[in-house]
Structure 1
Amino acid sequence: MSTPTPEPDMSRNRLPTLFEVLSRRTAAPVDLFSFYIFMRDQQRSVDYLDFWLDVSQHLSLCRHYVRTLHRSIIDQTPDKIGSRRSSQVLEDVGLAGPSGDKGEKDYKRTPEQRLSAFLRENNEGSSVRKHSPATSQDTTGTSRSERRRHSFMTSADGSPFHDSSPEQGGSQISRSDIRASAEKILYTYLLPGSEREIILPQSILNDVTDAIEGPDQRSDPELFDSARDYVFQAMERDAFPGFLRAKALGNIVPSSMFFRVIFGLVCMFAGFWTAFILIFLNYHHATRAWIIIPFSLGVYMLFTHQYTLDPILVFAGYSEYTLMSFSKIKEPFVKKLLLKRSYMVFAEVVLVTAAICCLFIFVPGKRL
């Protein structure tokens, strides 16, 4: 029984929240994939997002373990109270979210506490161990804990955004896999000098390290609550407003903006050079009308750079997420915002182009 992917809310008449983006309840261009690309290419802090997603994957791993344990207990002791308890935990556990965010009604703090308490009480030395999967080895004899656990957002070949949730594969999960997952998060993101170290308060780092490596040897998802909350608030404060400005109010990326401003300046120079040549050679007004082409291109490119918005691209229904790579605009409210701004930008382009062209077309000529 796998957890279904949440469907985007197409009736939302507002901009999405960060929690909605992280829980995959939004559509392009403000979906999780676009946010990942933004954090990687523009914010340069994708490690924070990967940490959040890997903690979410760790919670999925714990859920899958308890679910497998529940089935095993039902098969062997169908009338025992343990099966009823694990079943209640499974029914109540929700998606990992900011534990301090009381405004998100979709996030349930209590079920995650129940799952963590269940895992802490049923440790390796408890009687439940005999009901857990007998082995964690694959057909090659390699322990699952010895294999590299890829990021929640990366595939085996390193490409981004591949959901490797264990719930989809139907594979059996042992307690050692949960332990290895918690240690991998610690050694990858939290310890000083780690591969993808993220900056957290020292008190949080000490609490998580002591919980995992201390005498309790914890691996339940609740031990990452404080770190996850801090990362969520950091992304919400520092990165998410810029993401909304870039994707909900614009549709081009910085590298595209750079080429546009260069091309726009070249076109404007060509337009002014041609206009002055035609004036000083006293060409007819109809001939001078050809300057509309370079001036139109130049003004359009400069305005798209200024507003980070390409109206023609919006009218076609597309948004740029990397240079010359486009995605369909599917979020209704964002599409409405982009269309309004596109009409405004396009009107300004037409007015400025018309003013410049009229000035150079109808000014009296004088042959030098």
Structure 2
Amino acid sequence: MDHPGAATPSPQPDLMRNRLPTLFEVLSRRTLPPVDLFSFYIYMRDQQRSVDYLDFWLDVAQHMSLCRHYVRELRRSVLVSTPEPERSSQRSSGILESMGDLTHPVAGPSMYATEKERDQDAQMSAFLREDRDHHHDSPISSNTRQERPSPNVSTPREFLTDSNSPPHMVARQDIRASAEKILYTFLLPGAEREITLPGSITQDVTTSIEEFGRDDPEVFDVAKDYVFQAMERDAFPGFLRMKALGNLIPLTMILRLILGLLSMFGGFWAAFVLIFLDKDRLTRLWLILPFTIGVYCLASYQYSLDPFLAMLGYSEYTPFNFSRVREPYVRQLLARRAVMVLAITVFVDAAICVLFIMVPGKRL
């Protein structure tokens, strides 16, 4: 039997994409650095200061994958043997058989799902609600359901590899614990990593889980779609500007601004000193050094781009830590912008240097 984490094929990056990726493609791991999920996670953590929203979305998506694996295993047991009466009713068996293989690779927002995927997910949620009622009748399951998970309960990602059920299997209790973990971590007032959602959404999810005992994926659909749209509207455009149109992060940009201003100040001060001391033009050629450093740093700050790093194919993701630019379209985009920034730098630097080197000197 396949491992749960490998039961669904991993999405492959689209190397032929001749455009910037969408948020859904980034979250689906279909992109490469510097516009991959890891880079977006760092951006949400360090720049947006709202990584809890991304963690919530990823945990809900993982909860969906957990449910799919559970249902997929039950469906296989139905297809290869006659299910035991207490495990599955005839109606639920029919739902399982008609559900299909549930092989779509990622759990995305409703707007991106095909009609077939929406139908399969709706059938899966319906089955889990019926299956929940069956487990609710069990004294052991009922006692388990009333207990809140402890703070150190495994996250949905960990359930895939560290379940209390037999190896490679997902127990019904795992799904329940996963749903409760999401609720108690992100949604309840005063939660450890509470995210801000409309009150009606939070109340509906809380009521569904705590009062009605639901743990099927549909219970999080509205909240998940709201968080996705918020990230797509508020965070993702800035992420693309930083990572696809530039290769520097704000901290090093500020350092370059400071270095650029100091170099330009030093260059202008030295230029006027040399002019009013009537130094020869050969001596004044040394002005090229501070002016070049200053213009280069200021241009890098203005365009959030280091031209030489871009031409070498590197992008900064944490201070002074660089990764290879592997997304083809982004690599081409950064190379073109690097040529433009370098041309501007050379033009401005040459103009300033020629002005202060060629101007006649006058000793005061």
Query: What TM-score results when the alignment is normalised by the length of structure 1?
Result: 0.86
1:93/1:111 contact within 8 Å kept: no
| Residue 204, structure 1, aligned to residue 201, structure 2 | yes
| Residue 96, structure 1, aligned to residue 107, structure 2 | yes
1:63/1:90 contact within 8 Å kept: no
TM-superposed deviation, 1:304: 0.5
TM-superposed deviation, 1:126: 5.5
Q: Deviations over 1:262-306 (max 9, x none)?
A: 111111111112212221222111111111111001000011001
CA distance in 2, matches of 1:302, 1:24: 35
CA distance in 2, matches of 1:165, 1:298: 53
| Residue 228, structure 1, aligned to residue 224, structure 2 | yes
TM-superposed deviation, 1:75: 6.2
1:265/1:302 contact within 8 Å kept: yes
Counterparts in 2 of 1:23 and 1:165: CA distance versus 1, 3 Å: farther
Counterparts in 2 of 1:52 and 1:308: CA distance versus 1, 3 Å: same
TM-superposed deviation, 1:73: 4.6
Q: Which runs of 5+ in 1 are unaligned?
A: 130-135, 137-142, 153-162
CA distance in 2, matches of 1:9, 1:223: 31
Query: What TM-score results when the alignment is normalised by the length of structure 2?
Result: 0.86
**1:166 corresponds to:** 160
One-letter amino acid of the counterpart of residue 55, structure 2? D
**1:160 corresponds to:** none
CA distance in 2, matches of 1:106, 1:11: 26
SS at match of 1:314: helix
TM-superposed deviation, 1:173: 1.9
One-letter amino acid of the counterpart of residue 96, structure 1? A
TM-superposed deviation, 1:231: 0.5
SS at match of 1:125: helix
**1:320 corresponds to:** 316
TM-superposed deviation, 1:77: 2.5
Q: Which of these residues, 223, 235, 238, is aligned with residue 239 of structure 1?
A: 235
Q: Deviations over 1:56-112 (max 9, x none)?
A: 11111112222333445556537997667536536135321111x15x659932221
2:78/2:97 contact within 8 Å kept: no
1:66/1:90 contact within 8 Å kept: no
Counterparts in 2 of 1:151 and 1:303: CA distance versus 1, 3 Å: farther
**1:341 corresponds to:** 337
Q: Which runs of 5+ in 2 are unaligned?
A: 139-143
1:276-295 counterparts in 2 under 5 A? 276-295=272-291
**1:49 corresponds to:** 54
**2:328 corresponds to:** 332
Aligned residues: 345
CA distance in 2, matches of 1:86, 1:282: 91
RMSD of aligned Cα (Å): 2.9
Counterparts in 2 of 1:83 and 1:183: CA distance versus 1, 3 Å: same
| Residue 122, structure 1, aligned to residue 116, structure 2 | no
SS at match of 1:319: strand
CA distance in 1, matches of 2:254, 2:115: 41
| Residue 303, structure 1, aligned to residue 299, structure 2 | yes
1:246-265 counterparts in 2 under 5 A? 246-265=242-261
**1:110 corresponds to:** 119
CA distance in 1, matches of 2:294, 2:116: 49
1:74/1:83 contact within 8 Å kept: no
**1:16 corresponds to:** 21
2:155/2:178 contact within 8 Å kept: no
CA distance in 1, matches of 2:70, 2:151: 18
2:247/2:304 contact within 8 Å kept: yes
CA distance in 2, matches of 1:364, 1:107: 78
Could you tell me the percent identity over the aligned residues?
58
CA distance in 1, matches of 2:119, 2:152: 32
Counterparts in 2 of 1:91 and 1:98: CA distance versus 1, 3 Å: same
Q: Deviations over 1:209-239 (max 9, x none)?
A: 111011x311001110000011011111111
CA distance in 2, matches of 1:367, 1:165: 79
**1:184 corresponds to:** 181
| Residue 148, structure 1, aligned to residue 156, structure 2 | no
Q: Which of these residues, 183, 192, 197, is aligned with residue 195 of structure 1?
A: 192
2:155/2:181 contact within 8 Å kept: no
